[in-house]
Amino acid sequence: MPPDLPDLDARGIIGQIPVLGIVLALAGSVFLAFGAQLQHRGVAAVEGDHEGERAGLSLRNVLRLLGQPSWLLGTAMLGLAIVLQLASFSVAPLVVVQPLGVAALVITSVVNARMTGVRLGTPAKRAIALCVGGIGAFVAVAAFVAQERVVEGVHLIVVLVIVGAVLVVSALVFALFRRRVGAMFYVIAAGVLYGLVATLAKVVINRIGNELGGIVHGEFEWLTVVCLVALVAAMALGGYFVQTAYSLGSPDLVIAGLTVVDPLVAVSIGIFVLGETATAPPWAIAAWLASGTVAVVGVFQLARHHPQTRR
């Protein structure tokens, strides 16, 4: 006789899906997309065509951004996007909600095309479908197998070492080679830093919750405080890199890079360091590799075939 199969309850399966976290993450992506457009407009007004200068935004121009209404409105939208993202972290695993940021790329591409009057061709639309399909499949699998875990001190120290190393390397490269690097350096560096920011935010949210619940004792005083300091430092440097990238490239390029690198970094740490998928079956790992590859291919195809990129 065949082995007994578990009794599947549709309501139980649906109940396992972190719907609220997914909705919050998607809402954050909408504000991220429009905030990026407005910030790019403000940076363009301050920097002009940048005239090939690659040394980063000057302090004077950073201060001038504070007088740009479009940049201020975009910053407010990005702030709201961050709040929604943090809220999604509190109710869903990192590997489920973080990849949903790719929706910002789709929205940015469509909005930018409408604002410029340039219609997306078939290759660009196909690339968008690959992005949505790949990330949709990734999240669908993660929603069933990813689990929340209490982050132990050793794992947290590993994350902090990674953050510290990335901050030092990024700062050194900027200090030594800022007149030679182009927009892609700032986009990739910002993506890595923002991926680490997402991870730190998730860790801090979980640890504060555990501290309040009495699960973790004696470690809040220094480990969590160090996490907060590292989070602020990574967010500040990443934000500066993003603004410089806006002055060197289009919003599509910036958002495309961020929505590839940011989730890759955050999800990799969620899988290999935080252990959110420790109980995932082999088929889930294979599905993630396949769907993640499809999404990455779609992002790069979109960057390649976008009308403005071709021009």
- pLDDT string in tens for the chain (311-residue length): 444 444 444 444 444 567 788 888 889 888 988 888 888 888 877 766 444 445 566 777 777 888 888 889 988 998 898 888 888 877 777 777 777 777 787 787 777 777 767 677 788 788 878 887 887 787 777 767 766 666 667 778 888 899 999 999 998 988 888 777 777 788 888 889 988 888 888 777 777 765 555 444 454 567 778 888 999 999 999 988 888 888 777 777 777 777 777 777 877 787 777 776 667 788 888 888 888 888 878 777 776 776 655 44
Query: Quick check: 270 and 139 in contact, CB under 8 A?
Result: no
The closest of 108, 85, 110, 67 to 21, measured between CA atoms, is 85
pLDDT, residue 4, reads 45
pLDDT, residue 172, reads 92
pLDDT, residue 164, reads 92
Residue 4 lies in a domain: no
CA distance 185 to 201: 24
CA distance 74 to 20: 25
pLDDT, residue 13, reads 40
- The parent domain of residue 253 ranges over 10-310
CA distance 82 to 300: 25
The angle, 0 to 180 degrees and rounded to 10, between the axes of the packed helices 19-47 and 225-248 is 50
CA distance 197 to 263: 11
Residue 293 lies in a domain: yes
Residue 145 lies in a domain: yes
Residue 171 lies in a domain: yes
pLDDT, residue 228, reads 87
Task: Annotate the chain with DSSP letters as a single string.
Answer: -PPPPP---HHHHHHHS-HHHHHHHHHHHHHHHHHHHHHHHHHHHHHTTGGG--S---HHHHHHHTT-HHHHHHHHHHHHHHHHHHHHHHHS-HHHHGGGGHHHHHHHHHHHHHHHTPPP-HHHHHHHHHHHHHHHHHHHHHHHH----PPPHHHHHHHHHHHHHHHHHHHHHHHHHTTT--HHHHHHHHHHHHHHHHHHHHHHHHHHHHHHHTSS-S-IIIIIHHHHHHHHHHHHHHHHHHHHHHHHS-HHHHHHHHHHHHHHHHHHHHHHTS-TTTT--HHHHHHHHHHHHHHHHHHHHHHHH-HHHH-
How many structural domains does the chain have? 1
Residue 182 lies in a domain: yes
Q: What are phi and psi of 276, to 5 degrees?
A: -70, -15
CA distance 287 to 202: 24
Residue matched to tokens 């929604």: 84
Residue 5 lies in a domain: no
Residue 1 lies in a domain: no
Residue 88 lies in a domain: yes
pTM to 2 decimal places: 0.74
CA distance 80 to 239: 15
